[in-house]
Every structure is written in C-alpha cells, then in structure tokens.
Amino acid sequence: MVELLLLAAALSADNFAVSIGYGSSNTRISPGMTALLNLFCSAALVASAQFGKRFLQSAGPEWGTRVGAGCFFLMGTLKIFEELRKRRRKKQGKPEARLEHLEKQLHPLEFGLLAVSMSVDGIVSGVFAADLPVTGGEIFFASFAVGMAAMYAGTAIGKKTGQKNGGNGALFGGILFYLLAFLKLT
C-alpha cells in the first residue's frame, strides 16, 4: 500500500505544479472539472494497470513521455500568449472586462490538453501499478484522492503567490508548463 501511495503522489506532482500556475493567475478550475480531471487520470492509471504490460510492450514507454511533454509545451505557449495579449491590450487602453472573464475559468481546450498530459503519466506508470498487490479499486481511490488533494493545495498556494506578485500568474503558469515539459524529456 505504501508503494501505491508513493506512485499516486509522484503522479500528482504535475497536478500540484499545474494548479500552482492556475492559482497564481486566479484561474478557477471548478470542483466538477477538478473531479473530472482526476477521474480521467485515475481511470487511465487503472486501465493501464490492467492492460499496461501488453500495451506498453508494443508501444514503448517513450511515447508517453513525448506526448506529455508536447501537451505541457503547448499549454505553456498558450499561457504565455495569454499574458502577452493581456499586456498588449493594456498598452492600447482597451477594456479588460472580456479578458478578465475568460481568465477566470479554465478553457475547455486547455482542460482537454491538461487531461491528456496528466493521464499519459498514469498510462505509462500502469506497468509498475500492475505489479503491486492491490486491486484496481484501491489504485483508483488512491490516485483520485491524492490527485484532488494536490490540485486543491496547489491552487491555494498559487493564489497566495499570485496575490504577492500582483496577479501576474499567466506568465508564471506558462513557465511552469515549459518546466514540466522539459522535466518530462530529461
């Protein structure tokens, strides 16, 4: 069981870091989206644990690293462009009301990329989880619970960070996504 909790914590490190980025830019991830994201990631881990060995033997584990890194890189680029657009509009004196509304909610495209990038780690890690002496339900519950806790803790820390640096979190979030992409590739 300790190995399972360590696996869940390792897989949730990305959730934690990503949530810090969203929290610092005051982007709200609704409880429903948080639960859906963690359901998706946990289900991917369980499915991979059940079928992981056969699947990864044919595909090779490096594909997951590349897909996850690519998604994080794309998300980082989106966040940095969001910050640049916001700064340009501010210089031009254009109203921010519409942009502020968009920044407060997680965009569905960004949510989809986040779900894919987060679940790829679970799919790749399924090989390890398949060897653990636990059931699929235990894997799911541990992954879901730790993932939810990581996202809420990361968001809270990010909000405090964003308040201290004036809410300039989109740039910080973009840099975090680039860092995650780089770490996946190394």
Please state the domain extents for the chain: 2-185
Question: How far is the CA of 79 from the CAs of 25, 72, 139, in angstroms?
Answer: 10, 11, 32
Span 26-38, average pLDDT: 87
Distance CA 167, CA 180 (A): 21
Instruction: For residue range 85-103, list pLDDT tens digits in order.
Output: 777 877 877 655 444 444 5
- Orientation angle between helical segments 97-104 and 62-92, nearest 10 degrees: 160
Q: What six digits make up the tokens of 3? A: 């190995």
Q: Which residues pair with 28 in a beta bridge?
A: 105
What pLDDT sits at residue 59?
A: 63
Taking 80 as the threshold, does the pLDDT of residue 22 lie above it?
yes
Span 37-42, average pLDDT: 90
- Per the model's pLDDT, the better-predicted residue between 38 and 78 turns out to be 38
What pLDDT sits at residue 6?
A: 78
